[in-house]
Structure 1
Amino acid sequence: MGERLMSVMVLPSALGSGLVGGIFFAFSTFVMGALARLPAPQGIAAMQSINIVVINPVFMAAFMGTAVLCLIVGIGALFGWSGPHPTLVLAGTVLYLVGNIVVTMTGNVPLNNALAAVDPASAEGAAVWARYLSTWTTWNHVRTATGLAAAACFILAWRWPAAA
């Protein structure tokens, strides 16, 4: 892959990582806090709805499309294809894939599934909700930080002049 093509692909990797990190930032900084202020049955019902609605083509294109771009530029950097700052590109790739995709699948999704299985008005639902709020948000902080850190790595790789 040529340096120009790698450079062109690094930019949308940065944009996608920043966009996804920003979505997670919104949840970490105010959405979850707002849901926590609601009575448990309302907070649970709202989050159950969010977890259904988030599975849509626009969000999934941003979330998984960024993962695909990261894989492509990461493989390119790993195998010595010409491109900007392969170490930064690899760092951005690992940060996004591990911090966003792996954490989502192993941390947030199982919590979402557990929440989906409870009746919002039940005592069990309230207990699951209390644990969910802190644990899910902690994992979401990880996704926020790694998404934004990946974006920073890709931006630096894209904009930092290569050594002569």
Structure 2
Amino acid sequence: MTAITKPLSITATLFAGAIFGFFYAWVCSTMWGLDTMPPARAIEAMNAMNASVRNATFFPTFFGTPVVLALAALWQRRAGYRRASIWFWLAAATYLILGAGLTMAINVPMNEALAVTPIPQTGAEAEAIWQAYSGKWQSWNQMRTLASGAALLFACIGLTAL
């Protein structure tokens, strides 16, 4: 049981780092870039990115992170690493509720609503749609990025306890 504990813990931490990096990239480049585009093109680009993220590469990271963190916590507990286990449980819960949970409750419905919105024919219409979407979406994305960063930090603290 101990033989798998450390590799599983490192893998879980890597998963947490990958999902944090994904959300962070949206914060520090993707959305800022879209905000510089003509709004109709930004809407088209956002719709294309949202459609493309539903793939076999993203799925395990987004949905698997809380699972792998929880499995690591369980294995740590069974191997006698109680303190590490607590940190990994905290990481799993933080990401599950405030990372994946916010995404599914807020960002995904916003993305789905944008996807069915007809691309406006005038610049003013597109501007109004993009302005209503982008600021709110970015605020919630910052929250899930902070939560994912906290989950990564908690996993790193847990690693030091092994």
Q: What TM-score comes out, normalization by structure 1 length? A: 0.86
**1:132: Cα distance to partner?**
1.3
**Aligned with residue 79 of structure 2, among 77, 82, 106:** 82
**1:5: Cα distance to partner?**
2.6
Return the alpha-carbon distance in structure 1 between the equivalents of residues 140 and 75 of structure 2: 28
**1:94: Cα distance to partner?**
1.1
Residue 141 of structure 1: aligned partner? 142
Return the alpha-carbon distance in structure 2 between the equivalents of residues 23 and 104 of structure 1: 13
Residue 116 of structure 1: aligned partner? 115
**1:83: Cα distance to partner?**
4.9
Residue 130 of structure 2: aligned partner? 129
User: What do the CA deviations read for 1:134-163 (whole angstroms, capped 9, x no partner)?
Assistant: 1111111112111121111112211235xx
**1:90: Cα distance to partner?**
1.4
Equivalent position amino acid for 2:45 in 1: A
User: What is the RMSD of the two structures over their aligned residues, measured on CA atoms?
Assistant: 2.1
5 Å matches for 1:64-103?
64-74=63-73, 76=74, 80-84=77-81, 85-103=84-102
Return the alpha-carbon distance in structure 2 between the equivalents of residues 95 and 149 of structure 1: 7
8 Å contact kept, 1:70–1:93: yes
Equivalent position amino acid for 1:101 in 2: A
Equivalent position amino acid for 1:148 in 2: G
User: What do the CA deviations read for 1:27-80 (whole angstroms, capped 9, x no partner)?
Assistant: 011110110111110000000000001111111122122232123234x279x4
Identity %: 27
Tell me: CA distance 1:83–1:114, structure 2 relative to 1, closer, same or farther (3 Å).
Answer: farther
Structure 1: gaps spanning 5 or more residues: none
Q: What TM-score comes out, normalization by structure 2 length? A: 0.87
